[in-house]
Amino acid sequence: MKCPFCDYGDTGVIESRQIENEFVVRRRRICRKCNRRFTTYERIELIPLMVIKKDGRREPFSHEKITNGIIKACEKRPISIETINRLVSEIEEKIKNEAPDEVSSSLIGELVVSKLRTLDEVAYVRFASVYKQFKDANSFVKEIKKLT
C-alpha cells in the first residue's frame, strides 16, 4: 500500500478490525518513511452491483461517489468523517440487501436524502438541492417548509 502523503511504497499495519458487517476490514497503517498514519478499508466484492441512471445507462456502483456527495453536503457542518462513513455503509448495505444485481440511481438518492434528513437539516437541503435539481429559490423554500 502506497502512502497517500509521500507516495512511499512500504507501509505497515498498526491495527485491523472488522466493521459494519463481515465484509469490511478497517486497517490503520503507518508509512515507514514519513511516519504518518492513515486508514484503509478493504471490501469484498461478491457480484458487481450496477446502477441504472435516469437516462437508462448502467455503470458500476461506486462507494466513493456516494461518500463524496455526502462529504460535499456536510461541508463545514459538525459531522465527523466516521459518521459519514457509517452512513454510507448503512446505505450501501441496504442497497445490496434490496437489490443484489441492479439498483436505480433514484433509489440511492432517496436513501441518501432520508439518512441526511435525520442527521443534519442543512446537509439534507444541500444534497436535496442537487439531487432534486432545484431550479430557483422557491424550490429551497418549499423543501425547508417540509422540514418545519
**Full pLDDT tens readout for the chain, 148 residues:** 899 999 999 999 999 998 766 678 999 999 999 999 999 988 876 678 899 999 999 999 998 999 999 999 999 999 999 999 999 989 988 988 887 789 999 999 999 999 999 999 999 999 988 888 888 888 878 888 887 7
* Helices of type H across the chain: 63-73, 81-98, 105-119, 121-131, 137-147
pTM score, whole prediction: 0.67
Give me the pLDDT at residue 70, please.
96
- Residue 73 grid cell: 453536503
